[in-house]
Chain A
Amino acid sequence: MFEYPLAIVVFSPLLGAAVLGLFGKRMSEKLIGSIACLTVAVSTVFAFYAFFEHRAGLEAGQKFHEYLFTWISVGSFRADFAFVLDSLSGIYILFVTFVAFWIHVFATGYMRGEDGYWRFFAYLNLFMFSMLTLVVADNFLLMFVGWEGVGLCSYLLIGYYFTKDFANDAAKKAFIMNRVGDFGFLLGVMLLFWKAGSIFYFDDPARGIHGAFNWAMAQVGDPLSFASIFAGGISTIAVLLFVGATGKSAQIPLFVWLPDAMAGPTPVSALIHAATMVTAGVYMVSRASSIYVKAPAAMLIVAIIGAGTALFAATIGIAQWDIKKVLAYSTISQLGYMFLACGVGAFTAGIFHVFTHAFFKALLFLGSGSVIVGMHHEQDMHRMGGLKKYMPITYRTMLVGMLAISGFPLFSGFFSKDAILYNTFATGILPAPWPLLLWAVGLLTALLTAIYMTRLIVLTFFGDERFAEHSHDAHDHGGGKPHESPPSMVVPLVVLAVGAALVGFLGVPDAFWKGANLNYFERLVAPSISTARESFVLTDTIHASAGAAEHSSEAGEEIALAVVSSVVAIAGLALGWFWFNRKPLWQPPRLLENKYYVDEVYDETVIQPVKQGSTRLLWKTIDVGLIDGAVNGAAALASRLGGGMRYIQSGLARSYVALVVLGALVLIAYFVIK
């Protein structure tokens, strides 16, 4: 029916952004909100349309291309403005548009009365355009367009309160950290182009394009060795791309920007820094699974970084007082989970976690936003408590979110997290100690997750009403009691809560019911994900072909592990409940509270040396002193030489005569002797 549904999905928000950006200043808030939500709604509708129109094909692993125009074409290099729909991008646009729509709705309420309302929605729409471009691009360069575009919007939105220095700093930090990652990404793309001769994902005979993934599939995989990373082959490509992912998805070592990014308005945090943008790294790695499966060393790195980040961020999350910071570290931690999944080859599990995470983390952020609005822009949990009775809907929806993220059985997070833990434990691609180790880390993280989420809920909604202790400043939004949020904010909470509770059932492990094909998500996404080579057999559930004989024992193992993680989750919840109900203001270790001093270390070891070095060494010493010194020195030398030679001109005729004689003597001598 529609020839270019993806184009509509992508460009509808851009239209909104353009309209709002150019004319929004003179519009009413209602009109602005309507335009913003409408354009995203259009996107959502067409995303669903595109998905369900081609559902059968997608399940069968077909790719649907939409070619708009050739963007750059020089020599053998070509990058098109073209989109591709496969099951991976299909599922992505579904939840991105859906979640985004509800966040937009939430934001119309949340942002009411703010300066630059139009600006906010223009940025938000622009973000949607970028994010969707990122997802449906059919080549790495166009993906990079979206990749950088979301970075830009993130920059703009974090710095939305541009008179606040911390917001500006956070925005800048986010952009630059992302740029560091992009450096790797770009190098990866260039290396890919060099090796594969193409930056397109797939073949498209209609345009005479050969995909890089087909090249990757045809390669003999690298061995699992440290050296392979630097060999300039496929492992190097994979690692470089992953560097990009660490930036965008806030992994060690580039994660520090994400907590600061909470300086932006809460809907931004929900949309960009929880549900969509930060998962771009996971998307990209999954997208490039054909490359990763040939690069075991890169896989191992991804897994280690993922698991490490998950644990690391979770420990920090326990010790934060800012409600959004807790969620931010939680996000980092969950992203680590997703990468862990990718690293062990369970790309679908990773994507599944992205999917469920989008719902429950968006929910949690919006809930926190609701709390913040209700508390008159208070984010410090020191000054909360007992909000349950003031904000009942917010409380209940957030409780759902908390259970989901903690992996409470049958909530969405349970299924996705469980899939990851199981696949980690059972992965066949990593050598011996790693699966167990990573699994243990994952499990520990799950425990911590349950604890810090419980802490958040307890400190916010239970216990004493600590906000009374601190009188608000008179000018701070008028003060007064906390209150429940308006419908425009509450409705999205409810919708997302329903989602957070239920979407997990799309991916129930097949093992749960003998012989049943419960895991629809798995079956949907798998065709878009590359399978490993023979010597690199994955023993996870991706492979339906793994053999029936093995299946039963694996199924037993999977159920056992699910039980273990359920127990851990419940234990964590309980631990948190009891501990923090008793000591809500328990002082966490300073090391954790100060985030392991990572920011300070970066400042001392990178930022200050660069700044000081540039000022003192490069500018003052080399540029002004050395180079300009040489230039001016040469000029001075010339005039000094001139100044010296002018003394030949003593003014005395006799000395001139002597000089002439001297010249004559030399000349004659030369002529006579020659």
Chain B
Amino acid sequence: MEPNQIGINYQAILPETITGGVAIIIMMIDALSRRIERRVAGGLSLLGLAGAAVSVATMWGRNAEPSFRGMIVTDQFRLFFALIFLVVSFLIVLISIRWIQEEQLPTGEYFALLMFATTGMLFMSAANDLVMIFLGLEITSISTYVLCGYRRTDLRSNESAMKYFILGSFSTAFLLYGMAFVYGASFQAGARPAATTNLQLLKERISSGALFSPEMLFAGAAMMIVGFGFKVATAPFHVWSPDVYEGAPTPVTAFLSTGSKAAAFAAFCRVFILTLAAAPIAESALMHSIHSVWVNALQVMAILTMTLGNLVAIVQGNIKRMLAYSSIAHAGYALVGMVASDWKAVAFYLLSYVVINIGAFAIIEVFAQRGDKRTEISDYAGIGFQSLGLATALSLFLLSLAGIPLTAGFMAKLIVFKSAWGSGFHVLVVIAVINSAISWYYYLRVIVAMFFADQQPEFKAPTLNRSFAAALVLTIIATLYLGILPGRVLDTLDRATDQISRARK
């Protein structure tokens, strides 16, 4: 068989190749020179991520191209999400360079795993087949299991890794079972192939209405929601996240709450919005039915997620845990966008969210000091004016998470709510809005502690290195840029296409 028949297209997997390759190179340098310099590892990672970003950028504007026999597809959906992931990893690398030295943890493996995770995430957004989604998800998950337990001697880190691992693989089993059901449902006698895990084919088959078993499709979809819902941490599948986020090393928490969440959303959107969603007209009753069912389910989950996240965040004393609940709530807002079946809104939401959240976690990381010692909100009492710059930046991020206008958080919420309202989910929007109001309370609590409470004598303002400062500046700029001048990004997104329906195997 000729290569082009197999659909080999190396350029299509160039970003993944670069990040994966960088991971391998780092490992090799580490192995050969016994100990890799953190700057080298970090620098290589940044270089790799930048290279990947460039390759993603060069792919922009091309029509949807499935490659590798439809295993992946290069559409703007993929590329936009890929950029989000690359941004996440870039920032995480920047904030990790300081941290990894301070904690004196193995350097090479850390960056390598981070790059592997990035590779997995990139595959998740590129995937056009359930197999690829599963693989990407597993690469990301397994590397993050390890990263959670990266501070091996720390009990909290251990616990975090174990819980994440048990619950993660458990939910993966559900996801897989769901995929199996969908595969089973997709059978069409006499067709080539007879049954499929390819998303485009699935969509066509569901649209045509001739399925082996609609029931299996529904059950499979439900189980996939369990799996994806777990990864994005929506109620009631969110339970792992507060514990894991709290226990994991802070940069890893940042990565978990942004990168792996965004990747899961990418896959979630790919499967549900792009595959299982009905166009307004000319679709089979089956498609309409599955669409409305999952939308209803997600609607309930979104409400549960937002409400639970926000309410429980109110009573938290640990800032990482509070932000964990906050990120649950944010998953809820993003779900609102999913309910509206508008992946662009979700994508913009995630882009804004990851930037802000990484910024917030970055600062929490420096404040936490070695071994995550100072992560209670009470530790933040009065540090606002002792470390004015960092505290102001943290305030900015928190307010942005709360949704103050002129920052990314507001634009993100606006776009999502607008989208949902436009699709007729008025009650959902109102509930989301009330939730936003509640969320102000706990974000403000941190600001209250930092600025309004009495100062702490023993607090020493942390020193920053250049890479960290760069990360901070980037996140601040991005937060404001997306809030004040979101036009370019939104325009790009607005014109972006997901040509899954046009792409053919």
Find out whether A and B make contact in their complex, taking CB atoms under 8 A apart as touching.
Answer: yes
Question: Per a CB cutoff under 8 Å, which of A642, A672, A674 touches B312?
Answer: A642
Q: Which of A646, A653, A672 lies in contact with B222, CB distance below 8 A?
A: A672
Contact A664 B243 (CB under 8 A): no
Find the B residue at minimum CB distance from A657: B170
Residue B135 is within 8 A (CB to CB) of chain A in the complex: no
Give the Cβ gap from A169 to chain B, nearest Cβ, in Å.
Answer: 43
| Given known contacts A635-B441, A667-B222, A670-B297, A660 and B170 CB-to-CB distance under 8 angstroms | yes
Contacting pair A656 B239 (CB below 8 A) = yes
Task: Tally inter-chain residue pairs, CB-CB below 8 A.
Answer: 88
Q: A645-B308, A663-B237, A671-B218 are in contact. List 16 more A-B contacts (CB 8 A).
A: A639-B311, A642-B310, A646-B315, A651-B243, A653-B166, A656-B163, A659-B236, A659-B237, A660-B167, A667-B223, A667-B225, A667-B226, A668-B219, A671-B294, A671-B297, A672-B218
Task: List the 8 closest pairs (A to B, CB-CB), nearest first.
Answer: A642-B311, A671-B222, A663-B236, A656-B239, A671-B218, A668-B222, A642-B314, A642-B315
One digit per residue, 1 when the CB lies within 8 angstroms of any chain B CB and 0 when it does not, for chain A 644-657 equals 01101101010011
Q: Is B162 an interface residue (CB 8 A)?
A: yes
A residues in contact with B218, CB < 8 Å: 671-672, 674
Residues of B within 8 A of A670 (CB): 222, 293, 296-297
A638 at the interface (CB under 8 A from B): yes
> Which of B221, B243, B289, B438 lies in contact with A638, CB distance below 8 A?
B438
**Bound state CA distance, A402 and B313, in angstroms?**
85
CB<8 Å pairs between A and B, sample of 30? A638-B311, A639-B311, A639-B315, A642-B312, A642-B314, A645-B311, A646-B312, A646-B315, A646-B316, A648-B308, A649-B243, A653-B162, A653-B163, A656-B240, A657-B167, A659-B237, A659-B239, A660-B167, A660-B171, A660-B226, A662-B236, A663-B226, A663-B235, A667-B222, A667-B225, A667-B226, A668-B223, A671-B297, A672-B218, A672-B222
Partner of A674, one of B235, B243, B289, B310: B289
| Residue A643 lies at the interface, judged by CB distance under 8 Å to chain B | yes
Instruction: Enumerate B300-319 residues with CB–CB distance to A below 8 Å.
Output: 308, 310-316
A-contacting residues, B147-197, CB 8 Å = 162-163, 166-167, 170-171, 174
Chain A residues whose C-beta falls within 8 Å of the C-beta of B215 in the assembled complex = 672
Is there contact, CB below 8 Å, between B226 and A672?
Answer: no
Q: Mark A621-647, 1 if CB is under 8 A from B, else 0.
A: 000000000000001001101110110
Please name all residues of chain A whose beta carbon is closer than 8 Å to the beta carbon of B226 when the two chains form the complex.
Answer: 660, 663-664, 667
Known: A635-B441, A660-B170, A664-B226. A672 touches B219 (CB 8 A): yes
- Residues of A within 8 Å of B313, CB to CB, are 642
Contacts of A635 in B (CB 8 A): 441
B residues contacting the other copy or chain, number (CB 8 A): 39
B230 interface residue (CB < 8 Å to A): yes
Smallest CB–CB gap between B25 and chain A, Å? Answer: 36
Task: Confirm or deny: B15 has a beta carbon within 8 angstroms of a beta carbon on chain A.
Answer: no
Binary A-proximity of B201-227 (CB < 8 A = 1, otherwise 0): 000000000000001001101110110
Instruction: Report B-chain residues with C-beta under 8 Å of the C-beta of A672.
Output: 215, 218-219, 222
**Residues of chain B lying within 8 A (CB to CB) of residue A662:** 236
Given A649-B242, A656-B167, A659-B239, also A664-B314 (CB < 8 A):
no
B178 CB to closest chain A CB, in angstroms? 9
- B residues 235-293 in Cβ contact with A at 8 Å: 235-237, 239-240, 242-243, 289, 293
The distance from the CB of A187 to the nearest CB of chain B, in whole angstroms, is 42
A230-265 vs B, Cβ < 8 Å mask (1 yes, 0 no): 000000000000000000000000000000000000
- Chain A neighbourhood of B240, CB < 8 A: 656
Q: How many angstroms from the CA of A674 to the CA of B217 in the assembled complex? A: 13
What are the residues of chain B within 8 A of A646 when measuring CB–CB? 312, 315-316
Min CB gap B250→A, angstroms: 20
Cα A667 to Cα B229 with chains together (Å): 11
Interchain CB contact under 8 A, B242 and A664:
no
User: With A and B bound together, what is the CA distance between A327 and B219 in angstroms?
Assistant: 99
Least CB distance from B216 to A in Å reads 10
Q: B residues within 8 A CB of A649? A: 239, 242-243, 312
> Nearest Cβ in chain B — how far from A661, in angstroms?
9
A668 to B181, CA, bound (A): 12
Tell me, in angstroms, the Cα distance from A336 to B170 when the chains sit together: 96
Q: A652: nearest residue on chain B (CB-CB)? A: B163
Set of chain A residues within 8 Å of B312, measured between Cβ atoms: 642, 645-646, 649
Question: Secondary structure at chain A's binding surface: helix, strand, loop or mixed?
Answer: helix
Which residue of A has the minimal Cβ distance to B290? A671
**Residues from chain A with Cβ under 8 Å of B236 in the complex:** 659-660, 662-663
Task: Determine how close the nearest CB of chain A comes to the CB of B272; give it in whole angstroms.
Answer: 12
Residues of B within 8 A of A648 (CB): 239, 308
- Shortest B463–chain A CB gap in Å is 35
Distance in Å: Cβ of A72 to nearest Cβ of chain B: 40
Q: A670 to B292, alpha carbons, bound, how many Å?
A: 12
- Shortest Cβ distance from A658 into B: residue: B239
B-chain residues with CB within 8 Å of residue A663 when the two chains form the complex: 226, 229, 235-237
Using known A-B contacts A659-B239, A674-B289, determine if residue A664 contacts B223 with beta carbons closer than 8 Å: yes
Cα distance, A641 to B435, chains bound together (Å): 13
Nearest B residue to A637 via CB reads B311
Q: Which of chain B's residues have a CB closer than 8 A to the CB of A660?
A: 167, 170-171, 174, 226, 230, 236-237, 239
Bound state CA distance, A651 and B223, in angstroms? 25
Q: Which residues in A have their C-beta under 8 angstroms from that of B163?
A: 653, 656
Closest Cβ–Cβ distance, residue B410 to chain A (whole Å):
22
**Residues of chain A lying within 8 A (CB to CB) of residue B289:** 674
Contact (Cβ within 8 A) A674 B239: no
Q: Which residues of A contact B310 (CB under 8 A)?
A: 642
User: Given the complex of chains A and B, what is the CA–CA distance between A26 and B107 in angstroms?
Assistant: 85
Q: A646 to B311, alpha carbons, bound, how many Å? A: 9
Q: Which of A645, A648, A660 has the most B CB atoms < 10 Å from its CB? A: A660
Residues from chain A with a CB closer than 8 A to the CB of B311 are 638-639, 641-642, 645
Q: CB distance B293 to A674 under 8 Å?
A: yes
A643 proximity list for chain B (CB < 8 A): 315
Complex: chain A residue closest to B300, CB-CB:
A670
A635, closest chain B residue (CB): B441
From residue B294, how far is it (CB to closest CB) to chain A in Å?
Answer: 8
CB distance from B158 to the nearest CB of A (A): 12
Residues of A within 8 A of B438 (CB): 638
Q: How far apart are the CA atoms of A641 and B310 in the complex, in Å?
A: 10
Q: Which of B426-480 contact A (CB under 8 A)?
A: 438, 441
Q: Which residue of B lies closest to A664 (CB)?
A: B226
Q: Which residue of B lies closest to A634 (CB)?
A: B438
Bound-state CA distance A653–B159 (Å) is 10
Asked if A664 contacts B174 (CB within 8 A), the reply is yes
Report the Cα distance A672→B314, complex, angstroms.
36
When C-beta atoms are compared, the residue in chain B nearest to A655 turns out to be: B239
Which B residues lie within 8 Å of A651 (CB)?
243
CA distance A643 to B293 in the complex (A): 32
Measured between alpha carbons, how far is A657 from B289 in the docked complex, in Å? 30
A347 CB, nearest partner CB in chain B, Å: 65
Distance in angstroms from A649 CB to nearest chain B CB is 6
A672–B171 alpha-carbon span in the complex (Å): 19
Q: How far is the CA of A219 from the CA of B289 in the complex (A)?
A: 75
When C-beta atoms are compared, the residue in chain B nearest to A651 turns out to be: B243
| Residue ID in chain A nearest B292 by CB atoms | A674
Q: Which residues of A contact B308 (CB under 8 A)?
A: 645, 648
Shortest Cβ distance from residue B235 to the other chain A in the assembled complex, whole angstroms: 8
Check if A671 sits within 8 Å of B315, measured CB to CB. no
**What residue of chain A has the Cβ atom nearest to residue B442's Cβ?**
A642
Q: Give complex CA distance A643, B308 in Å.
A: 10
Q: What CA separation (Å) do A646 and B242 show in the bound complex?
A: 10
Q: What is the CA–CA distance of A649 and B170 in the complex, to the nearest angstrom? A: 18
Query: In the complex the two chains form, is A653's CB within 8 Å of B293's CB?
Result: no
Quote the shortest CB–CB distance from A670 to chain B (angstroms).
6
> How far, in whole Å, are A657 and B308 apart by their CA atoms in the complex?
18
Residues of B within 8 A of A638 (CB): 311, 314, 438, 441
Give the docked Cα–Cα distance between A356 and B380 (Å).
81
Within 8 Å CB of B242, what residues of A? 649
Report B104-146 CB contacts with A as 1/0, cut-off 8 Å.
Answer: 0000000000000000000000000000000000000000000
